[in-house]
Amino acid sequence: MFEKFRFLTSGESHGECLTAIIEGLPAGLNIDINFINSELKRRQNGYGRGERMKIESDTVKITSGVRFGKTLGSPLTLTIENKDWTSWQKIMNLAADEYNEEKAFYAYRPGHADYAGSIKYNHKDLRNVLERSSARKTAAEVAVGAVAKLLLKHYGITCSSNVLQIGNGKTEEEFHLEIDKARDAGDTLGGKIEVIFNNLPVGLGSYVHWDRALDGRIAQAVMSIPAIKSVSIGDGDLGAEISGRNFHDEIFIENGEIKRKTNHAGGLEGGMTNGEPLVVKAVMKPIPTLKSPLNTVDSQTMTETTSHFERSDTCAVEACAVVAESRIACVLANEIMLKFPSDYIE
């Protein structure tokens, strides 16, 4: 695979902290820590978030890779403290002789990683699956995405996102009403988001191999965000309905420059950027942790029961839009580093 900008994250939802290591940044890039923290704040916001977001005030600590505000070209390490850990130290204890079952649970949550994760890793206590499958890890991904955005900004590339739908709601006021209704019913809601990147150069990605096609790389990055169930590029879903004449974006010349009448392709043709805004849409399913639980099975007794509930969000679609921006920013940062390889930024 072609990877220049790489990262790994670690950390359990109620563990001590989240950590990310980024490799492949050029030296000399300005690292604005306030910007990273403002991105973390955006991820915490949004109508419908749960109690955890009142406990956390996610801020990043950089422990390597930066000196006097600029990258060194060495791996950059970011950590985010889990404030909630102070209440979970006993439950998340690392020592073998401190084992306790206080927060163990056994009733699979339909829609969550509990069932498959417990079989895959041979975990009896489903907490061992929950802790890493939780969307808490997306905080570290947003911190990495913020660094990727700083790199993209150097090349004049900017991004934004919108929430297009939550439940049956299509406007902000309707979103809130829908979320209030779901919360009152002990239920949860998903929705649809849109992420837009502007000023991308023509020709990021490639048509020569399946794993270099940028639409495929973006789809993988967005689809693997917890709870995402569909990803489309531009007006991709319309492709099933309207004819080629109406779908494809006709080309014309204005002041000697190539222009498009429309952008149904969402800025990607043949797996490459075509100079138009990159538009990615995704659908997040409703969060599977429901206050009014679903029918399921207890893995210990193998009897039918109702699903485990613990503190959760009613709706995290707004946060998901920030996570999707971050994931796509990382894919694009990698593409920029492939197209304009350099060990230093100047």
Site of interaction with ligand EPS (CB under 6 A):
13, 50, 52, 84, 134-136, 138-139, 226, 287, 289, 311-313
Q: Which is nearer to ligand EPS, 42 or 217 (CB)?
A: 42
The nearest distance, CB 188 to ligand EPS, in angstroms, is 9
Min separation Cβ 270 and ligand EPS, Å: 36
Entry field: residues in the chain: 346
Amino acid identity for residue 53 in this structure: M
DSSP label at residue 233 = E
Question: The tokens of 16 are what?
Answer: 């001590």
Containing 256, the helix (H) or strand (E) segment is none
Question: Closest CB to ligand EPS among 42 and 281?
Answer: 42
Distance CA 218, CA 335 (A): 11
CA nearest to 327, candidates 284, 290, 263: 284
Question: Shortest gap between Cβ of 204 and ligand EPS (angstroms)?
Answer: 30
Tokens linked to 27? 């030296």
Distance of closest approach, residue 181 Cβ to ligand EPS, in angstroms = 19
| Of 53 and 345, CB closest to ligand EPS | 53
161 vs 273 by CB, closer to ligand EPS: 161
User: Which one, 261 or 311, has the nearer CB to ligand EPS?
Assistant: 311
Give the integer Cα–Cα distance in Å for 129 and 144: 24
First to last CA, the chain: 27
Write down the least CB distance from residue 213 to ligand EPS, Å: 30
DSSP letters along 101-164, please?
Answer: -TT---B--TTSSHHHHHHHTT-SSTHHHHHHHSGGGHHHHHHHHHHHHHHHHHTT-EEEEEEE
Cβ 191 to ligand EPS, closest distance in Å? 15
134 vs 232, which CB is nearer to ligand EPS? 134
107 within 8 A of 297, measured Cβ to Cβ: yes
How big is the chain by its Cα radius of gyration, in Å?
Answer: 22
Distance CA 81, CA 138 (A): 13
Query: Taking Cα atoms as reference points, which of 317, 325, 200, 221 lies closest to residue 263?
Result: 200
3-state secondary structure of 290: coil
| Shortest separation between residue 44's beta carbon and ligand EPS, angstroms | 7
C-beta closer to ligand EPS: residue 13 or 161: 13
